[in-house]
């Protein structure tokens, strides 16, 4: 059992720098200091959390390359949407220009 992972499974926002301290004196690891506002977990609770963490692993962020590929795909989609909007606006402006020219009598409409 890895104590750190068991504790982080139960308390994902716990900071090992300020919320708890783990020690290993050569035999097994143990909680040396516990500063969270909840009771210090028992050995049974820690084992249970460890088993649960193995059965239900925490979210693993995508690899940097996968993340970059996702961001590039999002940007391409946004660019296509902007190009489409630009085309629509350009067509609207052409229509308005033709209507203005027609009203002024400067067009062969």
- Give the Cα separation of 103 and 1 in Å (integer): 82
Average pLDDT for residues 68-81, to the nearest whole number?
90
Average pLDDT for residues 28-52, to the nearest whole number?
94
Q: In the structure, what pLDDT confidence band is assigned to residue 40 with cuts at 50, 70 and 90?
A: very high
pLDDT exceeds 90 at position 86: yes
pLDDT exceeds 70 at position 44: yes
Average pLDDT for residues 37-46, to the nearest whole number?
95
pLDDT in tens, 87-106: 999 999 999 999 999 999 87
- The domain in which residue 23 lies consists of 3-55
The H or E element containing residue 50 is helix 43-55
pLDDT at 59: 62
My answer on whether 69 and 43 are in the same domain is no
Residue 101 CA to chain centroid, in angstroms? 52
My answer on whether 42 and 82 are in the same domain is no
Q: What total of structural domains would you count in the chain?
A: 2
My answer on whether 48 and 67 are in the same domain is no
My answer on whether 87 and 106 are in the same domain is yes
Unique residue bearing structure tokens 């750190």: 4
pLDDT at 107: 60
């Amino acid at each position: 059992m890895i104590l750190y992972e068991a504790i982080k499974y139960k308390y994902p926002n716990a900071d090992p720098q300020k919320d708890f301290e783990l020690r290993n004196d050569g035999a097994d690891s143990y909680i040396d200091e516990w500063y969270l506002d909840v009771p210090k977990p028992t050995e049974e609770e820690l084992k249970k959390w460890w088993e649960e963490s193995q059965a239900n692993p925490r979210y693993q962020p995508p690899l940097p390359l996968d993340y970059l590929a996702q961001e590039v795909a999002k940007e391409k989609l946004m660019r296509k949407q902007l190009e489409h909007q630009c085309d629509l606006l350009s067509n609207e402006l052409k229509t308005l220009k033709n209507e203005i020219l027609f009203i002024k009598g400067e067009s062969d409409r």
